[in-house]
Structure 1
């Protein structure tokens, strides 16, 4: 793992006092991507805001402290609990953007112990809490339109405002324009990592041809077991994959809004003619929400949504689901 300084600490400001608005009041495009934390109400965090902040120190609807984290270079969306065991006690951490990258991934730091954390892994890589691992929360990446349809009473993060280095041409933070798209060119290009984003000509190599480096992957872990599900492979399998990760039986759905994973109670799901819906156990199921037309629901699994190169950096070249 290669760690390097890229920006001054907090040049990209975390959101520490988030406020929310009803999803019906969201003024952006219904196709805007959001990271969703379930609850009553469910809350959505627009990626167009996260580009400029990368971390939101929040709480879910039940009051549990969580960190909604996003690394644009890695396409990595992960929600973590912010409580960790320290010396036999439980401590709540608040995270900021360190200005460092570890293998092109955001390095977070916590303001309580000054430990540093690799965002995609949720593991402290330096400082007093080195080796401590954050708990991953179930979360989904979808669109505002899909979130609104599934959660008409849901809430959306209000635009935090302020200044960010992501809005600047250099390391000096500038006022944020959330209608800008600072990573659009990066997402469209073949290259990956900081060098590709900055166009410095020293891009990393990618030595496999079965997956593009920025293929969207949904990563699941269970203890020491880790398996990443590339979206194109799930789509090629009929948009539904039944698998095991460690001791856990899982089902992974590809839907028009993305990729979703749930604990499988033992059902054999089959795709229907309607995209994003599946049948099993005498019911029709929505692959994005895990809800059935007879009132049942699947348990969404803790997961990481990220690019293939970042998953491979963390878990190795063999930690991907292979089509049978």
Structure 2
């Protein structure tokens, strides 16, 4: 919940509905056409026999939502929505079901506080991408459940998951034909301006009244299922030596910053240490892309979303950041 008490959510229309096409029948393969340091969202299915899946941000920039399903341990398939807002740098994976009802999502063409507004095709309700909250329509007030979906590099994904698969380009369309060009999105990341105006050069210019964080500082937002919300800015975690422990709501968590991304797990009963790019604890080494140790144990990943500081502050207020 936003604790600033200063403004009401600003929703505007910027494109026709579905002008940005979702991917509704994704295909996966072993090969990737991009670069090793490209960022990907990772989903690990509940069925340990099924391969992990990587969803490249290079492709998500042009589609913003992937409707998919992943295998469960009992052989069923859970619907998921892999979502991305380029303006907010916001990557979140959701369970695509509310009260047992499967939903499929598209891009509404609207922005809520510069964040992507999704709509579901079953009820035409509208959902704020960074929070998973339904903000208009039949399902208003409902909220999608976040599932672990860490963002890392393709190289780290491939090293951790040699049998993993990667989302393949759509076979048609100019975006696929030009290799899902990232130059325009990289230019936005480098600009001081943020929000719609920073991306497209139009819309109101936004203010940023704090000097401890830049508006496009990368934040890992931890939002446990039992409540609470705390954003961990990458520079703050790095300043602490790459490892911080905190309590979010009733959950004790540990957050780590490594070369391949930000990671959050339930705090184990031992201390994790980051040394020379390697994470150790309890006498073993831990791979953060999987949360697995070299003796077969596994850390439990918590629900997170990766986004820019301005978007996290829009959703949760200026006092919702972890600080040393």
Both proteins in one fold, TM over 0.5: yes
Shift of 1:271: 2.0
Shift of 1:216: 0.5
Give the distance between the partners of 1:127 and 1:176, measured in 2 at CA.
37
Shift of 1:175: 6.8
Matched, 1:69 2:83: yes
Matched, 1:226 2:229: yes
Give the distance between the partners of 1:180 and 1:79, measured in 2 at CA.
22
1:123–1:52 Cα change, 3 Å: same
CA contact (8 A) 1:67 1:82 kept: yes
- Equivalent residue, structure 2, for 1:124: 134
Give the distance between the partners of 2:228 and 2:203, measured in 1 at CA.
36
CA contact (8 A) 1:261 1:300 kept: yes
Match of 1:200 among 187, 199, 202: 202
Taking only aligned residues, the RMSD between alpha carbons, in angstroms, comes to 1.6
Give the distance between the partners of 2:244 and 2:173, measured in 1 at CA.
43
Alignment size in residue pairs:
307
Shift of 1:56: 0.2
After superposition, what is the alpha-carbon deviation per residue over 1:196-227, rounded to whole angstroms, capped at 9, x for unaligned? Answer: 11123742000000000000000011334110
Match of 2:24 among 16, 34, 37: 16
- Equivalent residue, structure 1, for 2:312: 311
1:214–1:56 Cα change, 3 Å: same
Give the distance between the partners of 2:209 and 2:309, measured in 1 at CA.
12
Give the distance between the partners of 1:57 and 1:49, measured in 2 at CA.
14
TM-score normalized with structure 2 length:
0.91
Shift of 1:291: 1.8
- Equivalent residue, structure 2, for 1:170: none
- Equivalent residue, structure 2, for 1:32: 38
CA contact (8 A) 1:290 1:300 kept: yes
TM-score normalized with structure 1 length:
0.91
Give the distance between the partners of 2:138 and 2:320, measured in 1 at CA.
30
CA contact (8 A) 2:196 2:203 kept: no
Give the distance between the partners of 2:36 and 2:182, measured in 1 at CA.
16
- Equivalent residue, structure 2, for 1:80: 94
CA contact (8 A) 2:42 2:52 kept: yes
List gaps (5 residues or longer) in structure 2: 1-8
In the TM superposition, what are the counterparts of 1:143-222 in structure 2 within 5 Å? Answer: 143-163=153-173, 177-200=179-202, 202-222=204-224
List gaps (5 residues or longer) in structure 1: 168-173
1:182–1:268 Cα change, 3 Å: same
CA contact (8 A) 1:48 1:181 kept: no
CA contact (8 A) 1:52 1:176 kept: no
